[in-house]
Chain A
Amino acid sequence: MSEEKVHCLIIGAGPAGYTAAIYASRAGLKPLMYTGKTPGGQLTITNDVENYPGYPEGINGPMMMEDFRKQAERFGTVIRYEAITKVDFTGPQHKAWDESGKCILADSVIIATGASAKWLGIPSEQKYMHSGVSACAVCDGFFHRGKEVAIVGAGDTACEEASYLAKICKKVYMIVRREEMRASQIMQKRVLNTPNIEVLWSTETDEIFGENGVEGVRVKNSITGATRELAISGFFVAIGHKPNSDIFQGILDMDENGYLKTVPGTSRTNVEGVFACGDVQDHVYRQAVTAAGTGCMAALDAERYLAAREVAV
Chain B
Amino acid sequence: MKKSFQELIQSETPLLVDFYATWCGPCKAMAPALEEIASRWNEKIKVIKIDIDKNPEAAQQWKIQAVPTLMLFRQGNVLARQAGAMSLGEMEKLLSQHV
Contacts and interface: CB of A to CB of B under 8 A. Distances in A.
Interface stretch (A131-139, A153-161, A223-231): A131-139
Contact of B88 (A82, A132, A142): A82
Contacts of B64: 143
Interface in A78-136: 80-83, 85, 98-100, 129-132, 134, 136
Interface string B2-39: 00000000000000000001011110111011001000
Contacts of A243: none
B66 interface: yes
A114 B63 CA distance: 32
A132 B64 CA distance: 10
A46 interface: yes
Contact of A139 (B26, B32, B33, B87): B26
Interface residues of B, number: 26
Contacts of A129: 83-84
Nearest to A69: B32
B21 A81 contact: no
A88 B60 CA distance: 46
Contacts of A62: 25, 28-29
Contacts of A139: 24-26, 66-67
A61 interface: yes
A43 B64 CA distance: 23
Contacts of A143: 64-66
Contact of B65 (A37, A98, A130): A130
A82 B89 contact: yes
B65 A44 contact: no
A140 B33 contact: no
Contacts of A61: 25
B86 interface: yes
Contact of A81 (B23, B24, B36): B36
Nearest to B37: A81
A40 interface: yes
Contacts of B66: 130-131, 134, 139-140, 143
B88 A99 contact: yes
Contacts of A39: 29, 32
Contacts of A45: 25-26
Contacts of B28: 40, 44, 62, 66
A83 B92 CA distance: 12
Contacts of B92: 99-100
Contacts of B21: 142
A15 interface: no
A211 to B, nearest CB: 13
Contact of B29 (A44, A85, A131): A44
A258 interface: no
Contacts of A83: 87-89
Nearest to B83: A130
Interface string A46-88: 1000000000000001100110000000000000111101000
A37 B85 contact: yes
Given A37-B86, A38-B85, A81-B88, A43 B65 contact: no
B43 interface: no
Interface in A17-57: 36-40, 43-46
Interface string B28-56: 11101100100000000000000000000
Nearest 7 interchain pairs by C-beta? A99-B89, A44-B25, A37-B87, A130-B83, A62-B25, A81-B33, A130-B66
9 contacts: A37-B33, A39-B32, A43-B25, A62-B25, A62-B28, A62-B29, A65-B29, A100-B89, A130-B83
